[in-house]
Amino acid sequence: MNICSIVSTHDELTLSLERHRGQSGSVNSFLVQTIGIDIGGTKIAGAVVTELGEIVAEDRVATEAGDSEAIIDAVVNMIERLAKGRDVPAAGVAAPGFIDVAQSTVYYTPNISWRNEPLRERLRERVAIDITIDNDANAAGWAEFRFGAGRLVNDMTMLTVGTGVGGAIVSRGALFRGGFGAGAELGHLRIVPDGLPCGCGAHGCIEQYGSGRALLRMANEIADVGGIGLALAETRKAHDGLTGELVSELIRAEDLGAVHALNQLGYWLGQACASLSAVLDPELFVFGGGVSVAGELLLEPIRESYRRNLPARGYHPEPEFVIAELVNNAGVVGAADLARIHLRASRSL
């Protein structure tokens, strides 16, 4: 870990301590506003964010996923638009994939052709403010820790349950990134030996059993057998296939087949959380992503499975399980706050 990363981690801890003392976690007045950019699969979102996590300006454009150069152009243009007329000293960019511990290079990202891409340097060559980059799930998790569901704890684990499964770990008030920066890839925790193949190249990852894509697969399987799957089968026939939104509508209507699919999903997520608890011992599990809109219908089977699979049950303190609060804004809010931390770290060297 380089010196800047050590100082950055120290500043994350300092902000956590300030937060628990009831302070805002603010730094000097010139750092009141920073920019957060969140590169998603379909859109790039950006915002100007205050030190209290408040969004004062927003922007978004479509992601040209097949054109990595166009994505860099879009990020540069968005930073320039958001910074215009404002005294904004730093921007944070949340990107999918593996990011190095210096928060500078993208080792690998699945849907964009970045391989050992020096993204921070490429952006710094084109914009006149400080730039830092981080994993998108880390940014979302940090936002929830600082300003959302995790603001009253010191140790938190977040799982984003969308098309895939992402994760973030906050331990003793600081993000856990690992020795090379690519830690906390919780979606690739292996829970089924020789299980379903995953896009990462392994088999049996939680992403194949606890994601929105997995929920859709389970719903189709239930529709195939009839019985409680009748409404799922009828919906599939009427719409020429099931979609995540259609399954979500049936879950909200408490259709037995759709809720059973969600219960299966919750079982696997609860099992994964039990394994994570044995290693991380968090006070809180936070669930974000599109599937989390199911709320308590998702959390209840997770809690039940967690208790069944927890080592030393009855003697191990149990964490809380909650739904994320910041929803779609978590990525930009977290990226902006991490940019503020990185700038302070670089200026203290």
Tell me the per-residue pLDDT of 79-138, one tens digit each, with 9 for 90 and over. 999 999 999 999 999 998 899 999 899 999 877 889 999 999 999 999 999 999 999 999
Domain ranges of the chain: 3-147+328-347, 156-324
Common-topology check for domains 3-147+328-347 and 156-324:
yes
pLDDT in tens, 4-14: 554 455 556 55
What's the mean pLDDT when you consider all of the chain? Answer: 90
Write down the CATH number for the domain with range 3-147+328-347: 3.30.420.40
Residue 283: is its pLDDT beyond 70? Answer: yes
Task: Sheet with 33-39: list strands edge to edge.
Answer: 55-62, 43-50, 33-39, 90-95, 130-135
Which CATH number is 156-324 given?
3.30.420.40
Q: What is the pLDDT of residues 27-67, one digit of tens each?
A: 343 447 999 999 988 899 999 999 999 999 999 999 987 89
Which residues, in sequence order, are CB contacts of 152 under 8 Å at separation 6+? 20
Tell whether the model's pLDDT for residue 168 goes beyond 90. Answer: yes
Greatest Cα-to-Cα distance within the chain, rounded to the nearest angstrom: 65
CA atoms within 13 A on the CB side of 177: 26
What is residue 8's predicted lDDT score, i.e. its pLDDT? 54
Specify the pTM: 0.88
